[in-house]
């Protein structure tokens, strides 16, 4: 794992107050939703990551950026990193976070999702959702006048992917041209990683067992974005070939929340896709290992890799907070309350 000094050397300070990507994103994204990485342009993804690095480097500069703002988190699924990183990040910028546990009462059960949105929008400034069905996210967004953030659905996990590529930038300086390999289930995390990698110019290879490939609409969209950005998205079924020369190797659980009933069926299918020391040896010597966590130790990844020197999983977890702080600043117009941004073009 790289030292903080090394990371800072790879990410030189930029003048964020004059950065064209950040200033344009602050104007375009204010009041918008983030349901999918596809909601963002390549420039807007770059802006979030640039601002994420800045917020991480100078947190005190943003401690009053969201004064008196209210954020509600409505979660149908259990959470450690997502909940704490959102709550802590929002609180450290002057806002107040409210958590509503929906694990025993899914959204839409007691009253319609539309009615929930029309109530909640009158009390808070942003709604963060962690749901089983992606349709819940999009329906809430269609009926809410305040921004909706997808904090995980069965189709995407955009905040995770933003933090992951922020972490890659810390370790490599840039995502452009990186060879990024995902091994495992073509799930929600995989979808967001494919889109984000394509937006940033990374070459993305996805290795899944037959029948567990990512959604074809996501694949098509990611390839279109990749073509525009001079990179490529490949799908393969051989994990050995997929990691050959990779700069980053990523995996996730093969049984996502909501699919626990398939555990017995999936275990033997995904066994050859375990990321272990032998598989990592096929990657580049400088390769890093990544996982969104929680991990099922010695299932999709061996202890030796998860706890080894190539693992940057806890850097990823840390950066959830910083990437999400940057996103919240842009969606809620928080840069106008930041001293260094006052008077910047387009910042009111």
- Please give the positions annotated as active site: 130, 157, 160, 252, 292, 320
Please tell me the distance from the alpha carbon of residue 167 to that of residue 197, in angstroms, as a whole number: 12
Please tell me the distance from the alpha carbon of residue 82 to that of residue 292, in angstroms, as a whole number: 11
* Closest by Cα among 169, 166, 189 to 177: 169
Give the DSSP H/E element, type plus range, for residue 204. Answer: strand 203-207
In whole angstroms, how far apart are CA 241 and each of 205, 209, 307, 315?
Answer: 10, 13, 24, 27
**Across the strands, what pairs with 74?**
100, 129
DSSP state of 311: B
SS3 label, residue 34 = strand
Q: Which residues contact 112 (CB under 8 A, 6 or more apart)?
A: none
| Burial profile 241-257: b = 16 or more Cβ within 10 angstroms, e = fewer | ebbeebbbbbbbbbbbe
Please tell me the distance from the alpha carbon of residue 10 to that of residue 101, in angstroms, as a whole number: 40
Q: Which residues contact 161 (CB under 8 A, 6 or more apart)?
A: 37, 189, 192, 193, 195, 196
Cα 135 to chain centroid distance, Å, stands at 19
């Amino acid at each position: 794992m790289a030292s903080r000094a090394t990371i800072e050397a790879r990410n030189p300070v930029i003048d964020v107050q004059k950065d064209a990507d950040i200033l344009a994103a602050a104007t375009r994204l204010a009041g918008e939703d983030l349901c999918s990485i596809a909601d963002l342009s390549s420039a807007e993804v770059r802006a979030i990551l640039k601002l994420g690095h800045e917020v991480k480097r100078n947190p005190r500069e943003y401690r009053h950026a969201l004064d008196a703002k209210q954020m509600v988190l409505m979660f149908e699924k259990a959470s450690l990193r997502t909940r704490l990183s959102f709550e802590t990040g929002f609180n450290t910028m002057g806002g107040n976070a409210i958590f509503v546990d929906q694990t025993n009462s899914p959204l839409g059960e007691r009253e319609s999702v539309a009615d929930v949105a029309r109530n909640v929008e009158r009390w808070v400034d942003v709604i963060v959702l962690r749901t089983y069905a992606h349709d819940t996210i999009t329906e809430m967004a269609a009926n809410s006048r305040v921004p909706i953030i997808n904090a995980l659905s069965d189709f995407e996990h955009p905040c995770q992917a933003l933090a992951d590529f922020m972490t890659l930038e810390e370790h490599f300086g840039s995502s452009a041209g990186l060879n990024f390999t995902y091994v495992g289930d073509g799930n929600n995390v995989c979808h967001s990683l494919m889109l984000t990698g394509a937006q940033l110019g990374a070459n993305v290879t996805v290795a899944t067992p037959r029948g567990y490939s990512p959604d074809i609409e996501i694949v098509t969209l990611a390839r279109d974005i990749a073509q525009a950005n001079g990179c490529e998205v490949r799908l393969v079924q051989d994990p050995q070939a997929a990691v050959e020369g990779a700069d980053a190797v990523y995996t996730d659980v093969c049984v996502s929340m909501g699919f626990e009933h398939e555990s017995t069926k999936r275990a033997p299918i995904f066994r050859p896709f375990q990321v272990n020391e032998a598989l990592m040896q096929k990657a580049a010597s400088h390769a890093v290992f990544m996982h969104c966590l929680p991990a099922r130790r010695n299932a999709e990844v061996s202890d030796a890799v998860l706890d080894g020197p190539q693992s940057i999983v806890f850097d990823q977890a840390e950066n959830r907070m910083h990437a999400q702080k940057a996103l919240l600043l842009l969606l809620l117009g928080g840069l106008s309350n930041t001293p260094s941004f006052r008077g910047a073009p387009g910042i009111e």
